């Protein structure tokens, strides 16, 4: 007889990664369009020479460098195997079965999935008509069972943001025994000066955690490294449920090297931002509704046409991410990749008109 999976997990769909035909243009996972610079690859290679030894448990050197750079004490920082793993750790550490989390929808899909895995109910609050977090509705969704609220800023998959005044008001209203997680995976692509840095907000409070990653702006998605900045009791709680030695030597070395070469990263982000604006303008000119994005991707709320648009792109050798009947998310790639995407979008318009 087959070994049965926990009954309450049976309904969770398998994580299906669509096939990536050889040579396809990959605009489906919000990755950096270029390989990491040679300096980072050298650092990873050097670390690989000591692969027979376990890494440090708490990524000590990286924590110390991050603390200097971010202006927070070391005890505030937890490094993880990607920020997604820290997201799961926060739910595990702060929610018991039967508790609730609140998050926007659509937002990062991992929040409700991790909640379910932990036996926790996710209250998902629809975005407002402009595809932004509806913070008032999120406040109204908080119940005595709520333990964690996620604010994804900029939001994946819509690229929209929560601005300073609204976020401050929200944080002031959330009960102080509810943890607010500010997920800033795409922070480096922001140009709107009114979007707050979550870390100073966390420093003023006892119930705010900030998630950051090296996967996007730092082009290290394949290495798996991210971090959480939170008050020491929350950092300790997060670490308690972590997998021992989850952050490899290679990942720690890559993170350190990425911080050392932050200028190079900044220059790459500027290129992505320029391309984002070019792509948004071209898509709007072609008649598409494109919410202003502050991330490294665009959201196309194509509704019923989403799947057909995704298939059309795939037929043109371009992988984008379709989100049911809500829309399509397109990662900003290299200029020539974006041009190819624009051609595909144009031929779709002709095909359906
Ligand atoms: N948060 C958000 C909003 C994301 O979109 C992602 C990746 N898609 C993550 C966290 C996780 O990134 P990683 O685990 O690669 O750090």
195, 337: one domain: no
In the numeric block, the tokens 């979550």 are attached to: 198
pLDDT tens digit sequence for 110-126: 999 999 999 999 999 99
Ligand 1 centroid to Cα of residue 227, in Å, is: 11
Query: Would 142 be classed as within a structural domain?
Result: yes
189, 68: one domain: yes
Ligand 1 centroid to Cα of residue 353, in Å, is: 36
20, 85: one domain: no
Ligand 1 centroid to Cα of residue 112, in Å, is: 14
Asked if ipTM goes beyond 0.85, one says yes
Would the CA dihedral through 81, 163, 160, 34 be positive or negative?
negative
Domain count, the chain: 2
Ligand 1 centroid to Cα of residue 185, in Å, is: 6
Among 260, 280, 315, the domain-final residue is 260
54, 197: one domain: yes
223, 273: one domain: no
Query: Would 1 be classed as within a structural domain?
Result: no
* Segments forming the whole domain that contains residue 320: 16-35+263-352
200, 284: one domain: no
Q: How far apart are alpha carbons 287 and 249 in whole angstroms?
A: 48
- Region 195-224 average pLDDT: 97
- Ligand 1: residues with CB < 6 A are 30, 82-84, 108, 152, 156, 183, 185, 213, 215, 221, 226
pLDDT tens digit sequence for 4-25: 889 988 888 777 666 778 899 9
Ligand 1 centroid to Cα of residue 184, in Å, is: 9
Would the CA dihedral through 308, 309, 312, 313 be positive or negative?
negative
Q: How far apart are alpha carbons 170 and 166 in whole angstroms?
A: 6
Ligand 1 centroid to Cα of residue 186, in Å, is: 8
Query: Would 109 be classed as within a structural domain?
Result: yes
Give the number of the atom of ligand 1 that is nearest the alpha carbon of residue 108: 3
Query: Would 8 be classed as within a structural domain?
Result: no
CATH number of domain containing 143:
3.40.640.10
Given pLDDT bands bounded at 50, 70 and 90, which one contains residue 166? very high
pLDDT tens digit sequence for 284-339: 999 999 999 999 999 999 999 999 999 999 999 999 999 999 999 999 999 999 99
Query: Would 315 be classed as within a structural domain?
Result: yes
Structural contact between residues 297 and 341, judged by C-beta atoms closer than 8 angstroms: no
pLDDT for 22 equals: 85
Query: Would 10 be classed as within a structural domain?
Result: no
Cα angle value 200/166/31 (rounded, 5°): 65
Of 84, 85, 155, 209, which is best to mutate to test ligand 1, by the most ligand atoms within 8 angstroms of its C-beta? 84
Give the number of the atom of ligand 1 that is nearest the alpha carbon of residue 225: 16
Q: How far apart are alpha carbons 141 and 150 in whole angstroms?
A: 12
Among 260, 292, 309, the domain-final residue is 260
43, 72: one domain: yes
292, 185: one domain: no
Nearest Cα residue to atom 2 of ligand 1: 185
Among 260, 293, 318, the domain-final residue is 260
Query: Would 5 be classed as within a structural domain?
Result: no
Give the number of the atom of ligand 1 that is nearest the alpha carbon of residue 29: 8
231, 295: one domain: no
251, 272: one domain: no
166, 84: one domain: yes
Query: Would 300 be classed as within a structural domain?
Result: yes
Nearest Cα residue to atom 9 of ligand 1: 84
Q: What is the pTM of this model?
A: 0.97
CATH number of domain containing 310:
3.90.1150.10
28, 154: one domain: no
């Amino acid at each position: 007889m087959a070994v049965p999976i926990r009954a309450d997990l049976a309904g969770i769909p398998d994580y299906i990664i669509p096939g990536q035909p050889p040579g396809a243009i990959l605009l489906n996972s919000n990755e950096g369009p270029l390989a990491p610079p040679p300096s980072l690859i050298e650092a990873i290679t050097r670390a690989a020479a000591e692969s027979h030894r376990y890494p440090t448990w708490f990524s000590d050197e990286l924590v110390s460098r991050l603390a200097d750079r971010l202006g927070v004490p070391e005890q505030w920082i937890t490094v993880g195997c990607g920020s997604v793993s820290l997201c799961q750790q926060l739910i595990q550490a702060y929610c018991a079965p039967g508790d609730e989390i609140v998050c926007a929808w659509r937002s990062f899909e991992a929040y409700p999935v991790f909640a379910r895995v932990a036996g926790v109910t996710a209250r998902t609050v629809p975005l407002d008509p402009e595809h932004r977090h509806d913070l008032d509705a999120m406040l109204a969704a908080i119940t005595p069972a709520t333990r964690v609220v996620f604010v994804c800023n900029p939001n994946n998959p819509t690229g929209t943001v929560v601005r300073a005044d609204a976020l401050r008001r929200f944080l002031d209203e959330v009960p102080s025994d509810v943890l607010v997680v500010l997920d800033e995976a795409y922070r480096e692509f922001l140009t709107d000066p009114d979007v707050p840095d979550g870390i100073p907000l966390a420093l003023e409070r006892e119930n705010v955690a900030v998630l950051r990653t090296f996967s996007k702006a730092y082009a290290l998605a394949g290495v798996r490294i991210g971090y959480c900045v939170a008050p020491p009791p929350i950092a300790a709680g997060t670490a308690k449920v972590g997998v021992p030695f989850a952050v490899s030597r290679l990942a720690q070395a890559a993170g350190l090297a990425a911080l050392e070469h932050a200028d190079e990263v900044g220059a790459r982000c500027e290129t992505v931002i320029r391309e984002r604006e070019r792509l948004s303008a071209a898509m709007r000119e072609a008649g598409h509704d494109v919410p202003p994005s502050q991330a490294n991707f665009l959201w196309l709320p194509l509704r019923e046409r989403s799947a057909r648009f995704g298939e059309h792109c795939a037929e043109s050798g371009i992988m984008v991410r379709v989100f049911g009947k809500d829309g399509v998310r397109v990662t900003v790639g290299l200029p020539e990749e974006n041009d190819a995407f624009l051609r595909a979008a144009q031929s779709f318009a002709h095909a359906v008109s």
